[in-house]
Amino acid sequence: MKNSNFTKIAVIIMVILFVIVSMLGCTVQHNHSHTHHKTKKMPPGQAKKISGQKSAKAHAPGQQK
């Protein structure tokens, strides 16, 4: 009779642990960083104005060394 009570308690504890682990495994992660807008590249002439250089050659994609 003593072994039967121990078995019932062990089964109840295992079921409770299973339910808890199942609930913890069902969490949903949300990523709210909605950055779908496209970033435009700055034209070489505008980059030249910002940097203060006299030539836009360093900022042009085909002219870089």
Closest CA to 63 of 49, 45, 51: 45
The whole-number pLDDT of residue 1 equals 54
The whole-number pLDDT of residue 11 equals 93
pLDDT in tens, 25-51: 776 766 666 666 566 778 888 888 888
Mean pLDDT taken over the chain: 79
